Structure 1
Amino acid sequence: MKAKYALLGTLYFVQGLPYGLQSGLLPVFLRSAGLSLTRISLAKALYLPWVLKVLWAPCVDRCGALRAWLALSMAGLALACLACAALSPETDFLPLALALGVMNLLASLQDVAVDGVAVQLLARDEVGHGNAIQVVAYKLGSVLAGGGMLAVLHRVGWRTLFCLLAAVYLVAVLYVCKAPVLRLLPRPPSWESQAPAGTLEPRRIVREVLHVPGTPWTAGFVLLYKLGEQGAATMFPLFLLDHGFTPQQLGLWNGMVAVACSILGSSLGGQLMSRQRQPLALLKTLLLLRFCGLSLQTLLLLAYDPHISLLGAAAVLSLCVQHLFGGLVTTLTFSAMMQCTQRADTSIQATHYSVLAALEVLGKLAFSTVVGGLVDQLGFGLSFGGFLLLSLGALLYVLGAPPAGS
């Protein structure tokens, strides 16, 4: 059991590095360079491979060993990091964006393989702890590549940081090649051995995925549940940057301390899930608490004065509280997704989970791409009112869940 958790923790940790880099470091870096919120939000389009990963998930599911997919994708990520190290963000913006897009493509391939490993390795009574490790390790990777890099970038330098990231990926490749627990996985049949050729047809795959009990309701929830929280988590740090906080302060409080609270929430979510094993019942309470926390953060935003130090401390506290609730909600949501996927046939489990995960990313990506323009047009106050309505919508959706979540 410990070997399973160690493997999953390592894989999800390195999987979180590209996300942390692009969500924690780049927005503050670009805003400090004078870019508008609209342009910063459009940079979220680099996450597109995470939505499109459902296109190559069947290939990972049914052709080749998961160990090979993991090793090749992470080796490619190491090369992409070395490419980023050779570029300057000030003068090579377009080549850098291309390199980051390639990183996301390779990370999405790795994600499909890691999710397939998790679904096949974890027993039902291990899902809670497994998903806590999944979310916590992913966020630790995000902290290292996001808040950590932002805090030390001015001292260490761009090139050195990306060389270190490349070294982390190479160590992970060696670990995967030697990990004995991966021998427990069944080898998927090759494409040639699949029974009718139509098995890999997209329409047939979609039908198989949607016929898994609970999938339609779960798909709707993962599209909706994070929207309001994502909008606030993206814009509130930039609001603080515009009102007196420095990039180094945001790297510490938002990139590290607040994410540590998110990790704490994810760990607590895993503990709660391992005891009750019914994520929907817990989600009803937690979504209500998250809505209340976002309401208080919105009131703080409307009354904020950078000359009152107490309000600055309250802003940091609100970041931590929202990340705590966000971590709890995310872990329980991923547990619900994995429980739904475990009802599927083993030949489509990685694909099924990838579809749900892609929908989760799609909801966040689509909204994050336009949220900067929304704030530029409406202002922070009205925009946060919209975030509140979206959070309320997620709460009402769960309160109206069918008995079996189907």
Structure 2
Amino acid sequence: MQQKLTWGQALRVYLKPRVLAMFFLGFSAGLPLLLVFSTLTAWLRDYGVSRTAIGFFAWVGITFSIKVLWAPVIDYLRLPFVTKWLGKRRSWMLLSQLGISLGLVGMASLNPQLALTQVALLAVWVAFCSASQDVVIDAYRIESVDKELQGAMAANYVFGYRVALLVAGAGALYIAELASWSTSYTTMAILMGVGIITTLLVAEPDHSLIKDRAEPFQHEWVDRMLGSGEHSPLKEWFVRAVACPFIEFFQRNGRFAIVLLLFIGIFRLSDIAMGVMANPFYLDLGFSKTDIAEIGKVFGFFCTIIGSFLGGLLVVRYGIMRPLILGAAMVAATNLLFAHLAQVGPDRFWLAVVISADNISGGISNAVFIAYLSSLTNQAYTATQYALFSSLMTLPGKFISGFSGIVVDAEGYAQFFIYVAILGTPAVALAIFLWWRDSRRAESEPA
């Protein structure tokens, strides 16, 4: 049995250089997200862009949902000169961070009223670079320390990510209110320097252990799919980098893998489908950008941290499955509070109630869901398999959210949030089924 650390020893883990660096890499990963999502929609609405057009901007986020398509390329392709200088992971990190920064500078130079198409194209570019950064940072986190430190790495990453969301949400709105949207996006581009500096300072992980662990399985499937003897380098690369992570997952889970992937795809459907309309909803209801920043972003930030902490405690106390059901139910139900707020109007008290419920439930569900996804991965293929899961968990919601503006224009905000709450019920039902299945399997196993 593994010996438990004292509280002092556990706290000192967070002072290790690579663990500490994950806060700054988490900040770099989280900063671009809102700048192509809810903060962008607030900018567009502030410039008079129609709600229907804003709804279509949700499809920019689909880039994060298909990153698994190029994750194997990031995993295996060496960048000329840069890889030799920085190593396999840090070279891709630096390239993606520079791409994000340049894209944000480009967006800052445009007026959405005059160049909406160019804004959309640059938003897609920023999202592509950001999704690529996510893939490589996940791989770096997994490979750079032993399994015992992965919890601390993930905790620091999430904390940095949440701080970045606060900066790119409330911070960007404050700057836009005091100066301009151009100044706001230029400032965010400069803040990407946090990730760039961290990438240049951290050490490249040792990839030998992961390579040794994966080699026998990969060699077996190269022979099965291509036969023995000489193979085309491209075909062998495809089997090793693309096919093997998926083969391993389906081989381990059998036909039930389809059910697991379906559950991953619908778990956050309700949450993501309403997200693109949140800031336009607050503005149309009559709240100021300062109200949104103070209550929606700053107050919401602390509520999310509380929710994440509660989610972790629930997993420790009750395991993963029962808190997973609770999280799915809470996320769906909180949409009904948004529907109520649409009837109440611009009341700061009710805004605080809705924000606290939404962010606490989101924090609980996200913390539990990350634990669940982590339990599904194989350590030898964590980067590609986790990219598959994280891509799939946002794809259906991003697609459906693209039609959110049409629904709001046709039915109104209150009816829209009721529809979104209904969208969350299949995830609750499937979570109950998975809990029942795991309980039956546990009962059938010999003591």
Please classify the TM superposition score into its range, dividing by the shorter chain length: 0.7 to 0.9
Query: For residue 230 of structure 1, what is the aligned residue in structure 2?
Result: 272
2:266 and 2:145 map into 1 onto residues whose CA distance is: 27
CA displacement at 1:112 relative to structure 2 = 0.7
2:54 and 2:281 map into 1 onto residues whose CA distance is: 13
CA displacement at 1:27 relative to structure 2 = 1.3
2:207 and 2:41 map into 1 onto residues whose CA distance is: 39
CA displacement at 1:257 relative to structure 2 = 2.1
Query: For residue 215 of structure 2, what is the aligned residue in structure 1?
Result: none
Query: For residue 284 of structure 2, what is the aligned residue in structure 1?
Result: 242
Superposed CA deviations along residues 50-101 of structure 1, whole A, max 9, x for unmatched, are 1221121112223341122112211222222333343344433322322221
Which of the two has higher C-alpha Rg? Answer: 2
1:405 and 1:236 map into 2 onto residues whose CA distance is: 40
Alignment of 1:3-402 (within 5 A): 3=16, 4-64=18-78, 65-121=88-144, 129-180=152-203, 182-186=204-208, 195=219, 196=222, 197-198=235-236, 200-201=238-239, 206-213=246-253, 215-273=257-315, 275-276=316-317, 278-301=319-342, 303-306=343-346, 311-341=347-377, 344=378, 346=380, 348-401=381-434, 402=437
SS of 1:400's partner is: helix
8 Å CA contact 2:67–2:387 kept in 1: the answer is yes
CA displacement at 1:405 relative to structure 2 = 11
1:367 and 1:133 map into 2 onto residues whose CA distance is: 32
CA displacement at 1:293 relative to structure 2 = 3.5
8 Å CA contact 2:308–2:367 kept in 1: the answer is yes
The total of aligned residue pairs comes to 394
SS of 2:412's partner is: helix
| Structure 1 moving runs of 4+ over 6 Å | none
Counterpart residue type for residue 200 of structure 1: F
8 Å CA contact 1:199–1:205 kept in 2: the answer is no
Counterpart residue type for residue 376 of structure 2: C
1:61 and 1:230 map into 2 onto residues whose CA distance is: 28
What TM-score results when the alignment is normalised by the length of structure 2?
Answer: 0.78
8 Å CA contact 1:73–1:109 kept in 2: the answer is yes
SS of 1:11's partner is: helix
CA displacement at 1:272 relative to structure 2 = 4.4
8 Å CA contact 1:87–1:96 kept in 2: the answer is yes
CA displacement at 1:204 relative to structure 2 = 5.6
CA displacement at 1:316 relative to structure 2 = 2.5
Assess, with a 3 A threshold, how the Cα gap between structure 1 residues 372 and 123 changes in structure 2: closer, same or farther: farther
Assess, with a 3 A threshold, how the Cα gap between structure 1 residues 168 and 243 changes in structure 2: closer, same or farther: closer
2:259 and 2:19 map into 1 onto residues whose CA distance is: 29
Identity %: 22
Structure 1: which 5+ residue stretches go unaligned? none
Assess, with a 3 A threshold, how the Cα gap between structure 1 residues 313 and 279 changes in structure 2: closer, same or farther: same
8 Å CA contact 2:34–2:40 kept in 1: the answer is no
Structure 2: which 5+ residue stretches go unaligned? 1-12, 79-87, 212-217, 223-234, 442-447
2:334 and 2:59 map into 1 onto residues whose CA distance is: 29
Assess, with a 3 A threshold, how the Cα gap between structure 1 residues 132 and 352 changes in structure 2: closer, same or farther: same
Superposed CA deviations along residues 261-307 of structure 1, whole A, max 9, x for unmatched, are 2233224434544x348322322233334444333443443x4144x
2:28 and 2:22 map into 1 onto residues whose CA distance is: 10
8 Å CA contact 2:62–2:399 kept in 1: the answer is no
Counterpart residue type for residue 65 of structure 2: V
1:219 and 1:59 map into 2 onto residues whose CA distance is: 22
What TM-score results when the alignment is normalised by the length of structure 1?
Answer: 0.85
Counterpart residue type for residue 169 of structure 2: G
SS of 2:438's partner is: coil
8 Å CA contact 1:218–1:405 kept in 2: the answer is no
CA displacement at 1:368 relative to structure 2 = 1.5
